[in-house]
Chains A and B, each alone.
Chain A
Amino acid sequence: MTAVSPLTALDRLEAESIHILREVVAECARPVMLYSIGKDSAVMLRLAQKAFFPAPPPFPLLHVDTTFKFKAMYALRDQMAAELGMQLLVHQNPEALARGINPFTHGSAVHTDLWKTEGLKQALSQYGFDAAFGGARRDEEKSRAKERVFSFRNAAQRWDPKQQRPELWNLYNSRSLPGESIRVFPLSNWTELDIWQYIEREQIPVVPLYFAALRPVVERDGALILVDDERLPLLPGEVPMMRKVRFRTLGCYPLTGAIESDADSLAAIVAEMQRSKTSEREGRLIDHDAAASMERKKQAGYF
């Protein structure tokens, strides 16, 4: 027998994620994949295509929309839905819509809570999903680093970090009590660098905002905020300036800071990642709200 070339670290991560995706589909009645249009979602979606090929992924995509995403994100979302032939569910919290919740007048905490946390909970119970895939990674943040791959939520969608199930080997216990649901994180063991190396290897389409380009930005509280369109109210004295910037992470455009960068290709991004001295969360304003804020948001039902 000729030797089979050994698997690389990236191959092993891919195989582990595919195993997790298949396990949920085999054991859960109504799974759904949270699709946030970012780089992690893009990788997770590609892994799902691989896991179930030649069948399409046997679950719908769910986008919990805040109406404040970048225009380029909506464009890629609609393009992907058309190309993949998967069902795409878009949920906007009707209460947030009716009350016109936005980060400018209500602040990032209220904005995130109503659009994202509440919106997600509404959508999951409205459709009766018993398992939801999310693209979160353990290297993102300290409370994520503590979370299981199969993470249980009670009927009120709350996470109890002190009562997590043991999780051994690749044996995931997907059995839940009535009313409980599971958040499943197939990318738990990936790092940001793994994500970019995989996007480069697989040539996965991502939102162009990840690549450096000259863009109009204003500087607020030390963050570079993109003037995506006329929805961004300029503060007195603010004049948009053209800077060569890109995004390491994409969320709501008023809450996501850009970084100055010349990385305009996947290879350049990977090289930049390896030199980076800061974490990607630095650009996310919502994570700075309070210490241990992620754990609190997660306990309340945030992904």
Chain B
Amino acid sequence: MSAVATTVLAPTKDLLRFLTCGSVDDGKSTLIGRLLFDSHNLLDDQLALLVDDSRRHGTRGAEMDYALLLDGLAAEREQGITIDVAYRFFATARRKFIVADTPGHEQYTRNMVTGASTADLAILLVDARKGLLPQTRRHSHIVALLGIREVVLAVNKMDLVDYSSAVFARIADEYREFAARIGIEHSTCIPVSAAHGDNLIEPSSQMPWYQGASLLRHLETVPIPDRASTQPMRFPVQWVNRPNADFRGYAGTLVSGQLRPGDRVRVLPSGRESVVARIVTAAGDLEQAAAGQAITLTLRDELDISRGDVIAAAAQPPMIGNQFEATLIWMNEAPLLRGRSYLMKIGCRTVQATVAPLKYRIDVNTLEHQPTDLLALNDIGVAELSLDQDIAFAPYAESRELGGFILIDRISQQTVGAGLLHFALRRSDNVHWQAIDIGKPAHARQKQQKPCVLWFTGLSGAGKSTIANLVEKQLHAIGRHTYLLDGDNVRHGLNKDLGFTEADRVENIRRVAEVAKLMVDAGLIVLTAFISPFRSERGMARALFAADEFIEVFIDTPLSTAENRDVKGLYQKARRGQLKNFTGVDSPYEAPLRPELLIDTASQSAEQSATRIVEYLRAHGRLWT
């Protein structure tokens, strides 16, 4: 044991960064304090100060209050809580460690996120008497989102449940099931008593039934993931180094892969290519650079490259895009609002990002997706982002550096959110438009009509399909070229991979809108009959078309009427709880604010409604060229 402190440290030993998290009063700071003390990483004067502090501020009576080693702010000591993340450094014979001790209060979740963002492993504490709490799940979720794949569940205060193996097994089983659902690959459960040191350094004699490693042994031996070195070369340009006219170097950190002079590279988003000439350092040029190194490189060709561009392996360049789906963790008292624009810092680039639409927030307890218009402090949700320019990116799951970003409020300059990119919504920059000679005007002329889309929206059972079907029959009868895209039919083919979660419903509408756009290009009058409950998705669809091509038809039927009809028995199922996210029952319907056509089915029959719609088309010159 005493060997731990006096072992000569080789500077080559590796480094594990981890955090402690979990609900308030589960003993995070105590655990770290005790770990430092028992592993002889506390120095004499720190110990003397701790004894003194425990007497004056301690919450443990005559005993040492190890939390005071970490709760370094006056406000924390006064209140006996952790407000902000504390970083501690210690080493054993095998490894160096940087610990981020993070606060448990929900109010300070952003400080927990700060500590988690740079960690390779998380120690999640639970109080054996209380089991998993909402905050345990919230922190697990954040840990999983941030890509930490190694989680230790430290079931603490085992001394207060008589070191019961049954209590431990119940909590561990429940946690493993939850961890698997949120994508945590490895979870290791260890029963401990931070206050008494059980299973921290040495196996506890109080719990002979536990056969696994002590906490410190686990931390010393768990493999440290090194994904960066095996991935393709990525080098975000941080600073252009131009000391004189003869030297133009690009300074930055090689975030993944390897680099050698002579390597062919592509610069993004411009797409221009060149070859690495030199890797320049103060100690002479390098033969090669490894992921994680901060370097300066020069290229053979004079290219226009500035801060924020990404230099990448030419054979395996990253994607570029300007519209993304992303997970957001909101960290500000002022909520995130759909449609608001923020500054987004990703890699070395800062761009403008607009959030539209906000797809859903995640209930951290049930993992359910809930439709929402805003994200409040500490909410986690999924949104679409539109940027004002292209960026090179990677999904966060592949690259923290190319997929992680922060959002900055343009007025307060505060960091208000963190985000993780999933994928680009339109890879328009990889797929170039093919110039086609026969365009929309030619198609339309041949059909002697002005193509458009009639976008029917309304509750399930409102009469959308019925009326759309009648409209199409009338148009067909007068020789117009039409196509009806119906919700149920599309889901049998094109969209049969989609379910009814919020995300899937949004994707369903996006695909329908894109198909409708192609059909309008082909010169057709397109009718779509989908509930399409959200203004944002309808707005997204509208944005694909010219102003006079998109005709929003609101089939306005009261919920009670639609529910009484219940042609497909869906309302009944939803009321019984067998259908989730059913519009009108447990998911909102956002009525159009300014539809081109409002059809009141209470005052007119389906036939009358259809005739009125055809009249509208005629009056607006859509039926003949």
The residues of A with any CB-CB pair to B shorter than 8 Å are: 1, 4-12, 14-15, 18-19, 22-23, 25-26, 49-56, 138-139, 141-146, 148, 161-162, 164-171, 173, 175-177, 188-189, 191, 193, 197, 201, 271, 274-279, 281-282, 291-292, 295-296
Tell me, rounded to whole Å, the shortest Cβ–Cβ distance linking A272 to chain B: 12
9 intermolecular pairs with C-beta atoms under 8 Å apart: A25-B239, A26-B238, A26-B307, A52-B241, A55-B241, A166-B110, A173-B345, A278-B45, A295-B74
Q: Are A22 and B239 in contact (CB under 8 A)?
A: yes
Contact partner of A168 among B404, B412, B413, B414, CB < 8 A?
Answer: B404
Judge whether B408 and A8 touch: CB under 8 Å. Answer: no
Contact B400 A175 (CB under 8 A): no
Nearest B residue to A173 by beta-carbon distance?
B415
- Which of B45, B294, B401 is A51 in contact with, Cβ under 8 Å? B294
User: Chain A residues near B86 (CB, 8 Å)?
Assistant: 142, 145-146
Closest CB in chain B relative to A152 CB, distance in Å? 9
| Cβ contact within 8 Å between B72 and A141 | yes
Chain B residues lying within 8 Å of A50, measured Cβ to Cβ, are 281-282, 294
B15–A162 touching, CB < 8 Å: no
User: Is B253 within 8 A of A7, CB to CB?
Assistant: no
> Do the beta carbons of B293 and A15 come within 8 Å of each other?
yes
B292 contact from A7, A10, A139, Cβ within 8 A: A7
Within the complex, the shortest CB–CB distance from A25 to chain B, in Å, comes to: 6
Alpha-carbon distance between A22 and B253 when the two chains are bound, in angstroms? 10
* Chain A neighbourhood of B114, CB < 8 A: 148, 166-168
Q: What's the nearest-Cβ distance from chain A to residue B233, in Å?
A: 11
A9 near B72 with CB under 8 A, answer no
Contact A52 B251 (CB under 8 A): yes
How far does the alpha carbon of A168 sit from the alpha carbon of B112 in the complex, in Å? 10
Interface residue SS majority, chain B: mixed
Chain-A contact segment, one of B77-85, B187-195, B354-362 = B77-85
How distant is the Cα of A169 from the Cα of B348 in the complex, in angstroms?
Answer: 12
CB distance A12 to B282 under 8 Å? Answer: no
Cross-chain contact A145 with B87 (CB below 8 angstroms)? yes
Residue contact B406 to A278, C-beta cutoff 8 Å? no
Q: Give the CA-CA distance A11 to B111 in the complex, in Å.
A: 27
A166-B88 in contact (CB<8A): no
Q: Mark B457-486, 1 if CB is under 8 A from A, else 0.
A: 000000000000000000000000000000
Contact B87 A189 (CB under 8 A): yes
A10 to B96, CA, bound (A): 10
Q: Which B residues are in CB contact (< 8 Å) with A165?
A: 414-415
**Contact between B293 and A11, CB atoms less than 8 A apart:** yes
Contact of B9 among A18, A189, A274 (CB under 8 A): A274
Q: Which residue of B lies closest to A137 (CB)?
A: B89
Q: State whether the Cβ of B448 lies closer than 8 Å to any Cβ in chain A.
A: no
| B243 in contact with A15 (CB, 8 Å) | no
Q: Name the A residues within 8 Å of B280 (CB-CB).
A: 53-54
Q: Are the CB atoms of B74 and A173 closer together than 8 Å? A: no
Cα A54 to Cα B251 with chains together (Å) = 11
Collect the chain A residues with CB atoms within 8 Å of residue B56's CB.
291
Return chain B residues, CB-CB under 8 Å to A197. Answer: 9, 11
B238 touches A1 (CB 8 A): no
Report the bound CA distance from A276 to B43 in whole Å.
Answer: 8
Minimum CB distance partner of B258 in chain A: A4
B-side contacts of A279, CB under 8 Å: 43, 45-46
Beyond A6-B226, A12-B292, A53-B282, whether A161 also contacts B84 by CB under 8 A is yes
Determine whether the beta carbon of A175 is less than 8 Å from that of B408: yes
List of A residues within 8 angstroms of B405 by Cβ: 171
Q: How far is the CB of A134 from chain B (nearest CB, A)?
A: 16
**How close is B401's CB to chain A, nearest CB, in angstroms?**
7
Query: Which residues from chain B contact A10 at a C-beta distance below 8 Å?
Result: 11
Inter-chain contact A275/B6, CB cutoff 8 Å: yes
Give bound CA distance, A8 to B224, whole Å.
13
A282, B43: Cα distance in complex, Å: 10
Interface status of B549 (Cβ within 8 A of chain A): no
- Over the window 5-44 of chain B, the binary record of Cβ atoms lying under 8 Å from chain A Cβ atoms (1 yes, 0 no) is 0111101111100000000000000000000000000011
**A19 touching B404, Cβ below 8 Å:** no
A41 CA to B343 CA in the complex, in Å?
34
Residues in B neighbouring A278, C-beta threshold 8 A: 43-45
Task: Quote the shortest CB–CB distance from B5 to chain A (angstroms).
Answer: 8
Complexed CA–CA distance, A49 and B406 (Å) = 29
Interface residues of B in 68-121 (CB under 8 A from A): 69-75, 77, 83-89, 96, 98, 110-111, 113-114, 117-118
**Is B53 an interface residue, CB under 8 A from the partner?**
yes
> By the criterion CB–CB under 8 Å, are A173 and B408 in contact?
yes
10 smallest CB-CB distances across A and B, nearest first, come from A142-B72, A55-B243, A18-B294, A4-B290, A168-B117, A9-B15, A53-B282, A175-B413, A15-B294, A166-B110
B325 to chain A, nearest CB (A): 19
Nearest-CB distance from A33 to chain B (Å)?
16
Closest chain A CB from B546 CB (angstroms)? 39
- Nearest-CB distance from B73 to chain A (Å)? 5
A201 to B12, CA, bound (A): 12
Q: Which residues of A contact B214 (CB under 8 A)?
A: none
8 Å CB contact of B290 from A6, A49, A189, A277: A6
Chain A residues, Cβ within 8 Å of B11 = 8-10, 197, 201
Find chain A residues with CB under 8 A from B6 CB.
Answer: 274-275
